[in-house]
Amino acid sequence: MSSTNALKHRQACLYITLAILAIWFLVSLGCSILFRDWMDQNMPQVGNAQFGFWMSQQGSIICFVLLLITYAVLMYRLDSKYGYLDSRHESSDSVDSADSAESAE
């Protein structure tokens, strides 16, 4: 691994992490505190709860789980782009591609 690839990998990793943290901050703080009253007045109700209350209770948790999945997918792609995958991931990818090649025949 060259030092320029390692630097590019680290910069991309920081960019992904900061972007996801910014989204998490905006959803958590914005939806549950800053924009709750506006959402209660301008958004439809979810069940018996007003939308602002629902987003502050459930929506921020759902967003957090979706951000975790997004982070895992983006980091896997980034690691595979720069060659940081361990042998377990590489061997499972090669087995999957060999299986798909056999089924195509």
User: 44 is in which domain, residue-wise?
Assistant: 3-100
**pLDDT for 1:** 58
pTM value? 0.69
| Dihedral angle of Cα 63, 67, 70, 74, to the nearest 10 degrees | 160
Which residue numbers in the chain have pLDDT < 50? 94-95, 98
User: Does residue 21 contact residue 70 with C-beta atoms inside 8 Å?
Assistant: no
The pair of structure tokens assigned to 57 is 């209770």
Environment class of 12 (CB within 10 Å of its CB; exposed 0-12, middle 13-18, buried 19+):
middle
**pLDDT for 95:** 46
**Structural domain tally of the chain?**
1
| Residue 48: inside a domain | yes
**pLDDT for 74:** 94
